[in-house]
Structure 1
Amino acid sequence: MTNKFIEPILIFIRGLFMGSADIIPGVSGGTIALITGIYERLVHAIGKINFKFIKPLFKGDFSEFKRSFLDEIDFQLFIPLLLGIAIAMLTLSKVISFLLEDYTAITFAFFLGLILASSYVLYKQIVHFSPKIILISIIGFVLAYIFVGLNPIATNHTLPVLFLSGMVAICAMILPGISGAFILLLLGQYHYMLNALNSFNLVEVITFCVGALIGILGFSKLLDYLLQHHEEITLALLIGIMIGTLRIPVNQITTNIGGSLFDIAFCVILMIVGFALIVLLEMKFKYIE
């Protein structure tokens, strides 16, 4: 069991990994949360927020407000986790933009390894296999494969559109296997929000974050219910979705890779490195917990 000093540091590290994943199209921060053993706690903690602590505040009962506030919100989880996510997204946004622009094939080869390993980690958590589990995985695969093949929607960047984009993207970000960044790409908002983050455009970033907050508070309750009552069916669907989303990195690699043997070998090596990184990460956090 980790002591009170080590636990926030481990949660902060998880946040760094999640923030790094959430900014990458095709990789899910929810997957990182799952393989590092914090996913169910995170979903439950978000779903637990009902804002009931506001009621005693209107009545002037500050002691009850404080008690309800501290009881309803898991600050020991949210503070280090959100801090890690924010730092990762702010520091890596420029790096990811550069890699995707100038080293597309090898970057997506690394992402391919990450997604393959993440689906493998999910696969290990299913204990009771059945034809229904396999069928649900196939359905998830087909839906994801079709969905990621859609062309980005041409849309504007007004504040209401950014608000709605935040609501939709955050639901994907918390799901293992579904990339919130890719949802933004489909909505035509990914590069725009990446530039807004790089240039510290606070109005647009805050508008997006408010939409994300409202979206995640509602969606997490449904997800918490599914994990509590239909865990293996939910995991089977997510495995299919993750494998279906491999269409993104495969298309990017085949389109942008050079013809030399070195280019192909380098992509294969980075794919293996990405796969090994996730497996080692999952093993390390399982050992720590």
Structure 2
Amino acid sequence: MINKFIEPLLIFVRGLFMGSADIIPGVSGGTIALITGIYERLVHAIGKINFSFVKPLIKGDFSLFKKNFLDEIDFQLFVPLLLGIAIAMLTLSKVIGFLLNEYTAFTFAFFLGLIVASSYVLYTQVVHFSPKIILVSVIGFILAYIFVGLNPVATNHTLPILFFSGMIAICAMILPGISGAFILLLLGQYHYMLNALNSFSWVEIITFCLGALIGILGFSKLLDYLLQHHEEITLALLIGVMIGTLRIPFDQITTTIGGSPFDIAICIILVIIGFALIVLLEMKFKHIE
């Protein structure tokens, strides 16, 4: 009986962490899912949604619809996880926006520690290193380093643009190491969507979420296949990508930090705190599992 309450609660907490990460440029919600031990279950659960329950619903066969619906969708995972993600995004968007504007260097120093620790945790998942694994990691690093150096695209904020932005960003959000928030930054939609969350602009939020839903249902099938058949190669690529994305917080720190030794010391301390937080989080969830 206790486990029936503990498991949804732990999934909800994971959702809170994922939602918090997904609104931060440079930090991936997929990374949080990975280090808290829920990543493969999440990808597989999304990938197996084929909408086979729609056909019996159209035919009026409600018993078969109910059976297929319950078999195909992992409600025990999705309900607490999505609830946690939604609550985190709606409540923390103001806090993250304030910290990024007022304490840019300190905030990104903390993010730097998070990303470095996430790379380390992912490194521990790769059991057999080989020249091929190293080469794939280097390729991931180069591609990510170049990609995150791109300038944001000047776009408008029409509903179709928000819909397609959601489709693209969600693919990054589910990948460890690739920040969906940074993708939105490149697409010129990050601050707009952050303001939409802060002001509860439901038309924009729902449009974005519909695009995200379409994107994640398609992309998760490919990702599920790669994890099932080429896990170590996929993880090696993601390690390189995560290290490459360190360019984001590093550039932000070096361009906004004050010149005083105190500011530098605070940044170093925040890097250490961020690193320790991820390592302790991973150890805690691994122990629970």
Q: Distance in 2 between matches of 1:126 and 1:115?
A: 17
TM superposition score normalised by structure 2: 0.99
Q: Which runs of 5+ in 2 are unaligned?
A: none
**Structure 1 residue aligned with 2:273:** 273
Q: Does 1:5 align with 2:16?
A: no
**Structure 2 residue aligned with 1:285:** 285
- Match runs of 1:1-289 below 5 Å: 3-289=3-289
Shift of 1:221: 0.1
Shift of 1:3: 1.4
RMSD (Å) for aligned C-alpha atoms? 0.6
- Deviations 1:160-187, CA, capped at 9 Å, x for gaps: 0000000000000000000000000000
Q: Distance in 1 between matches of 2:12 and 2:196?
A: 24
Q: Distance in 2 between matches of 1:126 and 1:93?
A: 34
Q: Which runs of 5+ in 1 are unaligned?
A: none
- Deviations 1:181-238, CA, capped at 9 Å, x for gaps: 0000000000000001111111111000000000000000000000000000000000
Q: Secondary structure at the match of 1:4?
A: helix
Q: Distance in 1 between matches of 2:173 and 2:243?
A: 16
Q: Distance in 1 between matches of 2:95 and 2:180?
A: 18
Q: Distance in 1 between matches of 2:29 and 2:282?
A: 14
Shift of 1:14: 0.1
Q: Distance in 2 between matches of 1:244 and 1:165?
A: 23
Number of matched pairs: 288
Q: Distance in 1 between matches of 2:196 and 2:262?
A: 36
Shift of 1:7: 0.1
- Deviations 1:66-94, CA, capped at 9 Å, x for gaps: 01000000000000000000000000000
- Deviations 1:234-276, CA, capped at 9 Å, x for gaps: 0000000000000000000000001111000000000000000
Shift of 1:28: 0.1
Shift of 1:4: 1.3
Q: Distance in 2 between matches of 1:197 and 1:88?
A: 11
Q: Secondary structure at the match of 1:51?
A: coil
Q: Distance in 2 between matches of 1:218 and 1:127?
A: 29
Q: Distance in 2 between matches of 1:288 and 1:93?
A: 29
Q: Distance in 2 between matches of 1:210 and 1:276?
A: 36
TM superposition score normalised by structure 1: 0.99
Q: Distance in 2 between matches of 1:127 and 1:47?
A: 25
Q: Distance in 2 between matches of 1:58 and 1:101?
A: 51
Shift of 1:120: 0.2
Q: Distance in 2 between matches of 1:197 and 1:60?
A: 38
Structure 1 segments of 4 or more deviating over 6 A? Answer: none
Letter in 1 for 2:107: T
Identity %: 87
Q: Distance in 1 between matches of 2:200 and 2:277?
A: 31
Q: Distance in 2 between matches of 1:149 and 1:234?
A: 23
Q: Distance in 2 between matches of 1:35 and 1:197?
A: 27
Q: Secondary structure at the match of 1:129?
A: coil
Q: Distance in 1 between matches of 2:158 and 2:20?
A: 26
Q: Distance in 2 between matches of 1:25 and 1:58?
A: 42
